[in-house]
Amino acid sequence: MNIKTEGVKLSIGNKNILKGIDINVENKEFVGIIGPNGSGKSTLLKCIYRNLKPSSGVIMLGDENLSTIPIKESAKKLAVLSQHNYYDFDFKVYDIVLMGRSPHKKIMERDSKEDFEIVDAALEKVGMTDFKERSFNTLSGGEQQRIILARALAQQTDCLVLDEPTNHLDIKHQLQLMSIVKGLNIEVIAAIHDLNIALMYCDKIYVLKDGEIIAYGTPSEVMTKELIKEVYEVDAIINKDENGKLVSISYNIYK
C-alpha cells in the first residue's frame, strides 16, 4: 500500500524540525531515509505511524488521508518497528507477538487457532521460538528487536515503517532482519544509519538534512562521495565492481 507525504511540516516550539517533506513509497519498494543525527528521520516516521501530528501537510495511506482513518484501521495496514521497545508491564514474549493480532479483532474477541498459528510462524521466522515463554523485559536489546519484528509480522500489514531497525543487532541478525523484511514484498520505509545496509536493501533512498529532503534516487545515484561529504562531513570511498556497480562504501579515516 502506498505511503505518500505532501508538504509535511512539523515544528516544536520555535524549532522547524520538518520543513515540507514530500516522499512517495510505492510499488512494493523498500525505501530508505538516510541523514545525520537530528536531521528529522524519526520525526518524519513518527508522523507516518501517528505518534506525532504534523503541523501541516498531508499523509496518504493508499488513497486515504491518514488523519481521517481510525487508529485501529491504520494499524491493520501499517506496522512499526522502532528502536525503543519498553513495556512497563512484564509481558511474556508470546503475548507481545500476539498483540500484533489485536488490530484485526473485535473488542473482547478471543484469540483463535489461526492467531496462534500466525504468532508461532512469526516467532519461527525470526528464530525466537525458544524464547516464547520468557519475560520480554529480560531479553537482550537484539532479542527484543527480533520479537518486535515478529509482532509486526503477526500484524500482517500491507506496509511497514522501520525506525533504525538494526539498532542492537549483530551483523548476522541485521542481515536476517533486513532479508525478512525485504522478502515480505510490501512497501517499506526505513530510517537507516548504516549506508552499506541501505545500499544492500533499498530500492530508493531519500536523503534528509536539517528537516529537508536534499536528494532522492537509487542507492548508486544518491551515494556519491560528494553527497556523503556534504551530508555526513566524512570522506567516503565508493567501491564499485568491474561493471561499475556500487558494491560498498568505506571511509578514509586518515583524511
Ligand X SMILES: Nc1ncnc2c1ncn2[C@@H]1O[C@H](COP(=O)(O)OP(=O)(O)OP(=O)(O)O)[C@@H](O)[C@H]1O
Residues that bind ligand X (CB under 6 A): 12, 15, 17, 35, 37-43
Q: How far is CA 208 from CA 60, 64, 130, 203, 211, in A?
A: 20, 25, 39, 16, 6
Alpha carbons within 13 angstroms on the beta-carbon side of residue 177 total: 33
Q: Name the minimum Å distance from CB 81 to ligand X.
A: 14
Maximum alpha-carbon separation in the chain: 62
Looking at beta carbons only, is 21 or 75 nearer to ligand X? 21
Which residue type does 109 have? Answer: E
Question: Are 128 and 146 spatial neighbours (Cβ–Cβ below 8 Å)?
Answer: yes
Q: Name the minimum Å distance from CB 37 to ligand X.
A: 3
Q: Name the minimum Å distance from CB 44 to ligand X.
A: 7
Looking at beta carbons only, is 35 or 100 nearer to ligand X? 35
* Cα-Cα-Cα-Cα dihedral sign, residues 10, 72, 161, 83: positive
Q: Name the minimum Å distance from CB 41 to ligand X.
A: 4
Looking at beta carbons only, is 21 or 147 nearer to ligand X? 21
Looking at beta carbons only, is 42 or 157 nearer to ligand X? 42
Cell of 155: 500484524
